Amino acid sequence: MKKFLICFILVAGFLGAQCKWAFASQGTLLRFLKPTYKEGPVPIVLVAFGTSTKAQVTFDHIDREIRKAFPGHEIRWAFTSSIIRKKMNKKYEKQGSPKRLKSLQQVLSDLEANGYRKAVVQSLHVFPGEEWIHILNQGKIDGLRISYGEPLFATWEDVNKILDDIVKDIPNPKEGCAILAGHGTPNTYSSPATAVYLAFDRLLHTRFSNCFLGSVEGIPDKEDAIKRATSYPKDYVKIIPIMLVAGDHVMNDIMGTEPGEDGELSWALELKKAGKKVEAPTVTINGKKYYKGLGFYEATTEVIIEHIRQAMRDL
């Protein structure tokens, strides 16, 4: 009986020591597995459609302005066009560059994995169209609280502020007219963009006697804009892109110097055929000339910055 008690005490002591070690190890393991939350300024994700052209310098310009306005904040970029991402990533890989374009969900997943629990997602789209709806639907991830910054033309105050900056590129009515060329949306049902385009067209007629709106994929369309411009009594036409980046659409569809593969003429060629002199505003960066998209106007970056600040207040 005495031997049994001695054995029982030894076994109990051994098991107790093992349990104590197990609980201590478990605590260490739990502390190791516990996620670390990142403190500090809220990260900002800038979301654009993307471009594979030299007009990428527009993004570089915006990036610099946002970093100046929000020092200390993590600034990341996301691109909604899968075609652009695939094309550019293939190019970067071929060049041996580690750079990669990411989707919004990929960027948000990275932020969550890095320990962030809040983020501002700022749309760089002009009108509240399909891409804006895509951001609202796809820009969600568990564990991350997100506040969304609205597109450029979210309010008429924003629209008029940007128009006030564009005025310097609009010709005097005695010299000629201007076509404001937007992207447009082909669908009537998926977003409010078409209604905003029509209201914007009316605003232009109210503010200017020599400004006409046209779009590549919506209404008012190319034919409508060209018809109005060719009917204007002066021969000079300036085409002003109402797109953040004056990329492929501007370089080819609007200001292209050669007919397309299908023989279709660009807006500029159509106007020149009608006897008009056509130009578009440009900017010079590091000695190189680029077509001027909305991203190069000071008012545009001011609106973007204010939308980011509002999104931060909403978090």
Handedness of CA 284, 285, 288, 289 (dihedral sign): negative
Task: Tell me whether residue 217 is annotated as binding.
Answer: yes
Catalytic residue among 125, 134, 183, 307: 183
Task: Tell me whether residue 249 is annotated as binding.
Answer: yes
> Residue 183 catalytic?
yes
**Which of 43, 39, 40 has the alpha carbon at shortest distance from 122?**
43
Task: Tell me whether residue 183 is annotated as binding.
Answer: yes
- Contacting residues for 40 by C-beta, under 8 A, at least 6 apart: 72
Q: Which residues are known binding-site members?
A: 183, 217, 249
Active site residues: 183
Q: Which residues are known binding-site members for Co(2+)?
A: 183, 217, 249
